[in-house]
Amino acid sequence: MKTLEPSMLAALAPREDFPILAREVHGKPLVYLDSAASAQKPRQVLEAMENFQRTSYANIHRGAYTLSEEATAAYEGARKKVARFINARNVREVVWTRNTTESINLVANSWGGANLKVGDVVLLSEIEHHSNIVPWQLIAARTGARLAYIPVTDGGELDQEAYARLLETERPKLVAVTQMSNVLGTLPPVREMIAQAHAVGALVLLDGAQSVPHLPVDVRALDCDFLAFSGHKMLGPSGIGVLWARRELEAMPPFLGGGDMIREVSLHSSTWNDLPWKFEAGTPAITEAVGLGAAVDYLSALGMEQVHAHEQALTAYALERLAAVPDLTVYGPPAERRGGVCSFTLGDIHAHDLATILDNAGVAVRAGHHCAQPLMERYHIPATARASFYVYTTAAEIDALAEGLMQAREIFAL
């Protein structure tokens, strides 16, 4: 085993900031390797939400009293933090949703419902999460549009030659693609892909559920048209997500109707509020927005370049350690072209059995199709186990994973 640099041995973020990491599972120290599903929360986020609930909670926007004004300032202040985090041109381009899934559904129903027609094409890829497939299937069925897919290579990367051909032959109205695969960790060359899509007149939606928490994302530099991501994967709470969209797309019709998204309502007609509130019907996740703002503060203090470098170092080490486990197959590209995700199979052990054995050793990994059944079919496998890393992950935890896999080999007599 190669000698590790000190920066690889330790977590990037202080582990004492994450209270849950102090607990034990089955008498073993918790090794949490499921951050791609949901990240653990630092005390700074937990305290920000608790303090807000204790001291300033009220409904927002409409109250002409102190608590409501404080809550509104905290809620809209979090929006400003997110806008800065992704380098949005205008804070009004940031729309709160519940999660990445709702953000993509908003675009599919609002933009897609207004702009797609019979014969139009939406171009996706074979590595997409179901949340970036199913909404487009639904809107295609309603509008008569078609879906086409960028193939994935045996090495887990999007076939760029096929992508160029599909742009030329299909002339899609929209390209919707992940910036980082939740299964393979693949980091497609999205900046180049966006420029190619724009050259044929297509808009581009990026699924940033895995990318925004783990690497620098600048919507101006990328020049994408939509970006969707979730709070709970980036140290924030669940129940809060983000859709960023270019201001020029404000002509999109509302997604949901109700309070706060209206300007005027009569018995027979209504007019709509300004962006972003036009797309934020009803009482929102106020406390969760405050929590996400605190998470953005925490990540910003760490530095997203450092977050990405830490995870790439851990991923390189993980690929090296896992390569030493006999009968183990890791799916996806090399470490320099992937994020902090390793999906694998071990002999003929089912992924769920493997995850159970690892759990007995205190190691938490994901098992299943990871909401990416078409990708599982592409590789002719029913499921994988998946280890995923974040700012609190250490090389020692990857060692614990490798040791747990060796124990699984013994249990199943491989």
- pLDDT band at residue 3 under the 50/70/90 scheme: very low
Digit-coded pLDDT (tens) for 351-381: 999 999 999 999 999 999 999 999 999 999 9
Angle at 153 between CA 147 and CA 155, to 5 degrees: 145
Tokens of 392: 């609190």
**In this structure, how many other beta carbons lie within 10 angstroms of the beta carbon of residue 92?**
16
Whether the per-residue pLDDT at 9 is higher than 50: the answer is yes
d(CA 149, CA 313): 32
- pLDDT band at residue 257 under the 50/70/90 scheme: confident
- Write the CB contacts of 409 (distance below 8 Å, at least 6 apart in sequence): 325, 326, 327, 346, 347
Q: Where in the chain is the domain with CATH 3.90.1150.10?
A: 6-32+304-411
As a whole number, the mean pLDDT across the chain is: 95
Strands 24-25 and 328-331: unpaired
Rounded mean pLDDT, 316-331: 96
Whether the per-residue pLDDT at 12 is higher than 90: the answer is yes
d(CA 95, CA 111): 14
Active-site residues, by number, are 371
Rounded mean pLDDT, 13-18: 96
Predicted pLDDT at 302: 97
Whether the per-residue pLDDT at 5 is higher than 80: the answer is no
Strands 174-178 and 121-125: parallel
Helix (H, G, I), strand (E, B) or coil at 174: strand
CATH class, 6-32+304-411 region:
alpha beta
AA letter at 255 = F
Digit-coded pLDDT (tens) for 173-220: 999 999 999 999 999 999 999 999 999 999 999 999 999 999 999 999
Domain 47-301 sits in CATH 3.40.50.620: no
Helices 66-85 and 286-302, axial angle in degrees (round to 10): 40
Query: What is the distance, to the nearest Å, from the Cα of residue 211 to the centroid of all Cα atoms in its chain?
Result: 6
Whether the per-residue pLDDT at 396 is higher than 80: the answer is yes
d(CA 31, CA 25): 9
- pLDDT band at residue 312 under the 50/70/90 scheme: very high
Digit-coded pLDDT (tens) for 54-106: 999 999 998 889 999 999 999 999 999 999 999 999 999 999 999 999 999 99
Q: Where in the chain is the domain with CATH 3.40.640.10?
A: 47-301
AA letter at 108 = A
Predicted pLDDT at 414: 73
Digit-coded pLDDT (tens) for 118-166: 999 999 999 999 999 999 999 999 999 999 999 999 999 999 999 999 9
Predicted pLDDT at 250: 75
Predicted pLDDT at 247: 80
| Partners of 270 in the β-ladder | 265
Predicted pLDDT at 4: 45
Tell me if the bond preceding 254 is cis, omega within 30° of 0.
Answer: no
